[in-house]
A and B are shown apart, each in its own frame.
Chain A
Amino acid sequence: MALLQITEPGQAVDPHDRKRAAGIDLGTTNSLIAGVRAGAVEALPDERGKQMLPSVVRYTRDGVIVGEQALKMAVQDPHNTIVSVKRLMGRGVEDVGSLGEQLPYEFVSDGGLVRIDTVAGVVSPVEVSAEILRALVDRANETLAGELDGVVITVPAYFDDAQRQATRDAAKLAGVNLLRLLNEPTAAAIAYGLDSGDQGVIAIYDLGGGTFDISLLRLRRGVFEVLATGGDSALGGDDFDHAVAEWLINRAGHEGALSPQQYRGLLMQARAAKESLTGSASVAVRYREADFMVDVVLSRDTFNELVTPLVDSSIRACRRTLRDAGVDPSAIDKVVLVGGSTRVPLVVEKVAACFGNHPLNDIDPDQVVAVGAGLQADVLVGNKPDEEMLLLDVLPLSLGLETMGGLSEKIIARNTPIPIARTQEFTTYRDGQTAMLIHVLQGERELVADCRSLAHFELAGIPPMVAGAAKVEVTFRVDADGLLEVTARETGTHAEASVEVKPSYGLTDDEITEMLKSSFDYAAQDAAQRSLAEAKVEAGRAIEALGNALAEDGERLLPVRDVEMLRQAITRLRELAEGDDHQAISEGTEMLGRASEEFASLRMDAAVRKALAGRQIADVDNEI
């Protein structure tokens, strides 16, 4: 099994051409960023050597604090210290109540979107996540000594379109070039090099601080299909600490309730004891705080007894998920452990017993997702030109429309490779009906009430006709990032109307611009500078891309005259980009794009021909 990918001599990209790429694990409790250093992908540390950044953001009158310093204030200043913001991503106000936990924030309703009122003003979960992303990207820019060219961000496999859209918006707001979103279990599988295997079913057991996820993936020629996901959003390593703390209180024979301070201290002791028991058979716990005192030895056997009900509960979730997927435990080829809590030996033991397969755990389970994302980012950004790996993304949940009787009609089934477009025809229900309400849904269930509502919109202007005579074409278009666009068109009488929708909880580009303007980091005068810098980066990218394309295929595919024309266009844009008129630079970039349109299409034709030609040669070989 390949843990690290070793580049063969001669295949390495010239260090000067190497792009800076990173993978980000944007977690509920902690976040990490992994990038390529000294030829290997590793989690990047902050200036104190810490790799994990607590996913906590604190808003004060003077600015924003992210990470450890914010976490320390979570108890004292709960209203302004946002923890576990991932649970709120892409959620509407009506969802918050059903998250099954008490959140200390002051929620503000704004057109269905969740917003939180803080001392520094009203913030959205997208903005909070963007702060975490910025902190991580700043760290990478520092450690890798330069700006990142692109990142891959991971999301849970069960995230729906609205949650993915919110994550994408956060990346945009943080000003990072998002190469793609990657499912967390897929990232873990990539970290272990499982994508290079031929095929098989892989289970990813992810026990974090506060959440448990089990995902079953099927790999087939570079395509990871998510067969099923399951878990428990209220089960994690923190529960182990509570179990140990309760036992310690019991052993101390303490009467009455502990003060919050005493209990916090005791939890830290419990956590430390849990961690030592990974390597040793027993640990001494001594703790004294005010009137509380305990001095005992905790053996691993006792610890195992304490946490057995918790681990068993995760194993039951695994069995349920296996059954949902119709997969027998013996059919699982590989099991991967993710999340710090999987260091507990009992967890490894029980997982091995459940799947009849010793789990893979030699990559740090806290870092494995970020490392996998970093590997994928490195390929996408172009540092591994000979890498064959191509991950085809699939739609995580089916997309459909509400039809008569509150039923959901599936338009695109889950696990269909994306990007994809599909059109379905609908008709009117009543005589003289001139409008149609389109309700876009995501989910597997039959009833609309059990699916997630992504958008509502109305198609008006249908000419009055008898029921069933009007024909309305509804087109679902999902791009490579899983972004959905729905268009409805009335075609029966050549009268046309079309509407585009974004998920209700997504942000419009205007909103993102507005947030950028109002955020702390970008004062008004910086906005102009930022536009100029962006225009220059864009122009640089276009020049580089076209330059490379000309070097590779210019002479082969174009008359000399056209190559010369494009080279001149590049020179002109390069001159423009040295100036400081961002409008002129952007227009120049666009002109260059238009001038190279035909060349792009010729190159694409050549690529498609190559795919088919390769096949014909292979066929001939087989016949001989």
Chain B
Amino acid sequence: MNFNQSYFEIFGLPAAFDVDLDLLTDRFFELQKEVHPDRFVSRTDQEKRLAMQWTTLINTASDTLKSPLKRAIYLLGLRGVELAENPQLPPEFLMEQIELRERLEEIETGDASLEALDGFKKEVGTVISSLEDRFSGALSDDPGRAETLVYEMQFLNKLLVSANHLEEKLLDY
């Protein structure tokens, strides 16, 4: 029993940013079928506890690997890179962020149309995808660059969360 395996090793996947999500899901279910606590209802307490620990590990690992941002942070962690509390970011990136935030506010205070919000979310999604593509390449060649890309991904994900909150608000009316 080795609880120190990496999340990738648990599912027998290569430790890379590009993950075959279908394969991950398949292996997740194969493992669950063997270790889930529901399979251990009439086993010894020791086995029940191990089943619980394994299932927690498998769920946490799969939750981490399924999300590109969590996966990226985890990969940096495996390379010993800890994220900074207040990272330095390129000024042009910050300018872009301010502009995007302003546009979101305009949608809210302006005509508050769901169409405009949809378009905005799609645009943010495209930026996130391109950051993810660049992260995949930078991870092995330029770890410093990869770290910066994660901060940028964090910014944009927060922006997307704000956009989703606005959407909920608009739908409530």
Contact = CB atoms under 8 A, between A and B. Distances in A.
Interface string A528-569: 000000000000011011101100000000000000000000
Contacts of B37: 419, 480
A607 B59 contact: no
A608 B10 CA distance: 10
B117 interface: no
Interface string B1-39: 100000000001000000000000111011111111111
Interface stretch (A62-70, A156-164, A257-265, A609-617): A609-617
Interface in B91-123: none
B60 A420 contact: yes
A417 interface: yes
Interface in A563-619: 593, 596-597, 599-601, 603-605, 607-608, 610-612, 614-615
Nearest to A427: B85
B47 interface: yes
A549 B51 CA distance: 15
B44 A545 contact: yes
A418 interface: yes
Contact of A605 (B1, B42, B44): B1
B56 A600 contact: no
Nearest to A446: B165
Contacts of A381: 41-42
A222 B38 CA distance: 13
A390 B32 contact: yes
A180 B85 CA distance: 41
Contact of B36 (A392, A597, A605): A392
B25 to A, nearest CB: 8
Contacts of B46: 593, 596-597, 599-601
B142 interface: no
Contact of B56 (A179, A379, A420, A611): A420
A593 B35 contact: no
B86 interface: yes
Contacts of B69: none
A585 B161 CA distance: 55
B50 interface: yes
Given A420-B63, A604-B51, A549 B43 contact: yes
A620 to B, nearest CB: 14
A327 B44 CA distance: 44
A390 B44 contact: no
Given A179-B41, A420-B60, A601 B32 contact: no
Contact of B34 (A391, A599, A608): A608
B160 interface: no
Given A221-B29, A420-B60, A542 B44 contact: yes
B55 interface: yes
B41 A596 contact: no
A546 B48 CA distance: 12
B52 interface: yes
B35 A608 contact: yes
A604 B42 contact: no
Contacts, number: 113
Contacts of A607: 34-35
Contact of B85 (A324, A380, A468): A468
B135 interface: no
Contacts of B29: 221-222
A382 interface: yes
Nearest to B31: A611
Contacts of B60: 420-422
Nearest to B67: A413
A479 B37 CA distance: 10
A608 B50 CA distance: 11
Interface in A417-451: 417-422, 427, 445-446
A418 B27 CA distance: 17
Contacts of A422: 60, 63
Contacts of A596: 44, 46
Contacts of B39: 390
B34 A420 contact: no
A416 interface: yes
Contacts of A604: 1, 35, 47, 50-51, 54
Contact of A391 (B1, B38, B51): B38
A607 B35 CA distance: 7
Nearest to A422: B60
B51 to A, nearest CB: 7
Point out which of B1, B29, B45 has the most chain A C-beta atoms below 10 A from its C-beta: B45
Contacts of A615: 12, 26-27, 30
Interface string A302-328: 000000000000000000000110000
Point out which of B12, B25, B60, B86 has the most chain A C-beta atoms below 10 A from its C-beta: B60
Interface in A180-197: 180
Contacts of A180: 38
B9 to A, nearest CB: 11
Interface of B: 1, 12, 25-27, 29-39, 41-47, 50-52, 54-56, 59-60, 62-63, 85-86, 165, 168, 171
Which 3 residue pairs are nearest across A and B when measured between Cβ atoms? A600-B46, A607-B34, A611-B34
Interface of A: 19, 150, 179-180, 221-222, 323-324, 379-382, 388, 390-392, 416-422, 427, 445-446, 468, 477, 479-480, 541-542, 544-546, 548-549, 593, 596-597, 599-601, 603-605, 607-608, 610-612, 614-615
27 contacts: A19-B42, A324-B171, A382-B42, A390-B32, A390-B33, A418-B59, A421-B60, A427-B85, A445-B168, A468-B86, A477-B56, A479-B52, A480-B36, A480-B52, A542-B44, A597-B46, A605-B1, A608-B31, A608-B54, A610-B34, A611-B31, A611-B33, A611-B35, A612-B30, A614-B30, A615-B12, A615-B27
Given A390-B33, A600-B50, 15 more contacts: A179-B41, A379-B38, A381-B42, A390-B32, A390-B36, A549-B43, A549-B44, A549-B47, A596-B46, A600-B46, A604-B51, A607-B34, A607-B35, A611-B30, A612-B31
